[in-house]
Amino acid sequence: MKTIKLFERVGSFAENKDIARELRIKEIIPTLKKNESIILDFKNIDAATQSFVHALISDLIRKYGNEILDKIEFKSCNENVQKIVMIVTDYMQEGQ
């Protein structure tokens, strides 16, 4: 189980898609490929944009199917961040 503390990477406002993509490619995908689970820790993140969350996780759902969400846990999300994550996971799964 690998934990990524997002605040350390993007600060309190998670909007930098370039960093999101880099995290996905360099850390999240390699972890999932080893069949390990991952925790995305949103502690101290005040807000996130839909674009950031999309760049972070959308391709995982597309490539590995909806089941990949069983291996990802979203930790310490505030209410708004939870809702942004829900919007992205909704439209990615509904569009499959």
Angstrom distance (rounded) from CA 94 to CA 96: 6
The CA distance from 30 to 39, in Å, is 14
Q: First-to-last CA distance in the chain?
A: 27
Under the binding rule (CB under 8 A), the answer on residue 17 touching other proteins is yes
The one among 4, 38, 45, 55 contacting other proteins by CB under 8 A? 55
- CB of 34: closest distance to other proteins in angstroms? 20
47/61 Cα distance (integer angstroms): 22
Interface contacts to other proteins, rule CB under 8 A? 11, 13, 15-18, 21, 24, 39, 46-47, 49-51, 54-55, 58-59, 61-62, 66-67, 69-70, 72-75, 77, 79-80, 82-96
